[in-house]
Each structure stands twice: as structure tokens, then as C-alpha cells.
Copies of this chain bind each other. A is one copy, B any other.
């Protein structure tokens, strides 16, 4: 599905008959999906539909969901919720990185504090023995 010239998955490449063949659906079904707001293919100046690779993948996802018994209202809703979940997961990932950065900064700050120590203050390193505590 990728590796196309220009590698732009949103580029409108396929007329409806080709898109239908790629997705394993009837052309008329694609028109129905569009009317229901499930996807919005590009249009040529003349008014014909042109589908991108992203559109094809969306069609395959829609097909999965309808095969699982969802009707088109459910498919529309599920696609929207899945997009929301994607956003939340990304935001989540970024927040985790923020926490990591903040902790790293704290550690760096700590190490910087240790740098000015004079050699005369160095002591031999001992592994912590089985002391009464700590």
C-alpha cells in the first residue's frame, strides 16, 4: 500500500472502479459510504471521485467493521472514537517523555552538584554491607 511514487498516501490516484476493486467492494457501495459521511474522496475538476491510498485503507477498515456486524452509523462512530484514542495515546506518549525529561534534568542537576568536589575529599567506595538499616 506504501512505496508509491512520491510516497504520499493522501494523493488521489484511483477512479472509483479501481478503488472498489482494491477494496473488494462495489462502486455503488463506495458512493453509499460517501453519502453516509464515512469518507470523502477527492474530486477531479470534472466532478469524478479520486481515491487515495489512505482512502483505500479506510475502506478496508470500514469493511472489517461491517463484517463484524456494525451498521454504517456504528462504523462512523467507531472510526471517530478510534481517532480520539489515537490522539490520546500520542498525547500520553508525549507526557511520558516530559516526565522522563524532568527526571533526567533533576538527575543532571544532582550530578552537577557533585562535580566541584575536591580530590582530597574522595573516600574509598564500599558496597553497602548488611548493616542494621539502610
A interface residue numbers (CB < 8 A to B): 65, 68-71, 73-75, 77-78, 81-82, 84-85, 88-89, 91-92, 95-96, 98-99, 102-103, 105-106, 109-110, 113
15 contacts between A and B (CB under 8 A): A68-B73, A69-B71, A70-B71, A70-B77, A81-B82, A85-B85, A88-B89, A95-B95, A95-B96, A95-B99, A98-B99, A102-B106, A105-B106, A109-B109, A109-B113
The count of identical subunits is 2
Interface centre among A65, A73, A74, A81 (most CB of B within 10 A): A74
Main secondary structure of the interface of A (DSSP, over half): helix
Q: Kindly report which residue of chain B lies nearest to residue A36, judged by CB atoms.
A: B69
